[in-house]
Structure 1
Amino acid sequence: MSEGGPRRKRLPLRWLSLAELVGITAVVIAALGYWDTHRERAQTDRERAAEAREKQAEAKAGALKLAFLMTGTPESGGDRLRLATVHSEQVIQTQAVTFPAEIRGDAVQTTGNPRIEAGWFEAGLAKALHVRDDKRHQGRLPVGIATSFIEDGQPKTDQAIYLIGYSTHPRVLRSDKVEMEGLSLVRRGVGGDLQPAVDALWTKQNPPPAKP
């Protein structure tokens, strides 16, 4: 009597044929090629995205670099602000300076002499402050400035809201003297009529007196 149960038959070993080896090798090579192509495409996409971001950043930096911006330098003891562009390649041609309607009802036009003079608004400002019983001797007056200028030989325009920093000084038998101290930008690229934007900022900073 034989020991143990029946023996399991071993599966016969089968060697791959040359054609099958060639087929498997081709599949492996194709898979490696696909992976390599995918990796190269992903790398190319990343490089293109980085290049696009770099160009966008350069364009934005260039636009900011040439953005129209003015400074105001006090002259004649603050009676006048001499306006000038930050970028020397921008040449101012004409300007229209809009004040709050309560202070001055019409815009002042200048040609080839960019400036703001205290005499343009001094009396109106004194009256507006008196109505409000405002005893402060320092403040900021909003103005809208529409500018035509030349850049790279091309005419361009800019509309912006600025603040004039000023102080007032009492005078005998006359309204307080206004001494302008400088100019600061509030908002660029203002479309349409500047008057409503200037009036709104003036009213926000200096609410009208309450009616009795």
Structure 2
Amino acid sequence: MSAPGSEPNATERAEARAIRKRWVTLAEIVAVAGLLISATTAWLSWSDRRSEEHEKQIEKITEARTRTLVRLTATPEHGGASLALKDAEHDVQSVDIRFPKALGVPAQNSILSPHVDADWIAKPLLEATRDGPDKREGRLPILVAASYWDGDQKRTDTAIYDLVWETEGGLIWGHKLKLKGLMLRERTASAPRLDGLWKVEKPR
């Protein structure tokens, strides 16, 4: 060590420079660490906001899609001779109804007051159940395309519904077919799927 008042020697100057470098290096590390922490915090905050915005967008799209869907309900009329169809959320103006191909029933269209008539399907269903008990109940899958207006845009929602039916025996007129109700089964426009469901549901 140099005497008091004397100039520091080379060794002391080197040690002083090394100490200053260590302090500078430590300060730089602390500064960089602070920047990394700040950057990470900012990124996490931005990522959270973006995730929330994305979730809100998905919710809005889902809600908008849900509002366009039709869910038909049915009310028996004339003792089950027909079903009046309606949707609580939309003013359905027409329905196009397709039946399983094996049933041999042509497609039907109902407008203004959408409905299903038992006469459309009575013959093939009564033939299919004539060897069974007089009173019988079953389901007939049907493909329904329901159309309505949303402002100035026409929308059509297609789904498979189960048409619930029952037969009753009579002494004079024989078996009679009555319609009981309608239940949503699947949201699809697939005719092959309709035919596949009928293979399972058809009377045996």
Give the shorter-chain TM-score range. Answer: 0.7 to 0.9
CA contact under 8 A between 1:102 and 1:124: conserved in structure 2? Answer: no
Identify the residue that residue 30 of structure 2 maps to in structure 1: 28
Give the Cα separation in 1 of the matches to 2:68 and 2:147: 15
Q: Which runs of 5+ in 2 are unaligned?
A: 1-10
**Aligned ranges 1:4-83 → 2 under 5 Å:** 14-15=15-16, 20=21, 21-22=23-24, 24-83=26-85
1:200 aligns with 2:196: yes
Conservation of the 8 A alpha-carbon contact between 1:70 and 1:84: yes
In 2 relative to 1, CA 117–105 (structure 1 residues): closer, same or farther, beyond 3 Å? closer
The CA distance in 2 between the partners of 1:105 and 1:180, in whole Å, is 16
The question of whether the paired residues in 2 share the 8 Å contact of 1:164 and 1:180 is answered with yes
Shift of residue 41 of structure 1? 0.9
Instruction: Determine the C-alpha separation between the residues in 2 that align with 1:172 and 1:101.
Output: 32
**Which shifted more, 198-207 or 152-161?**
198-207
Paired letter, 1:33? L
SS of 1:158's partner is: strand
**TM-score by structure 1 length?**
0.76
Q: How does 1:26-175 map to 2 (within 5 A)?
A: 26-87=28-89, 90-130=90-130, 133-135=131-133, 137-175=136-174
Stretch moving more, 56-65 or 107-116: 56-65
Does the Cα contact within 8 Å between 2:99 and 2:141 map onto a contact in 1?
A: yes
Cα distance between partner residues in 1 of 2:193 and 2:29: 71
Q: How many residues align?
A: 191
Q: Deviations over 1:108-158 (max 9, x none)?
A: 22221200111221222101222xx33351111211222332123211222
Residue 66 to residue 156, structure 1, CA distance change in 2 (3 Å): closer
Q: Post-superposition shift, 1:16?
A: 5.7
Paired position in structure 2 for 1:4: none
Contact 1:160 1:188 in 2 (8 A): yes
Conserved? CA contact 1:126–1:175, under 8 Å: no
- TM-score, length-normalised on structure 2? 0.79
Q: Which amino acid aligns with 2:57?
A: K
Distance of 2:154 and 2:64 partners within structure 1: 18
2:129–2:203 CA contact under 8 A, matched in 1: no
Secondary structure at the counterpart of residue 91 of structure 1: coil
- How far apart in 2 are the matches of 1:58 and 1:134? 51
Larger helix percent: 2
Deviations 1:178-198 (A, max 9, x none): 22221001112314xx3x443
Q: 5+ unaligned residues in a row in structure 1: which ranges? A: 1-10
Shift of 1:23: 5.4
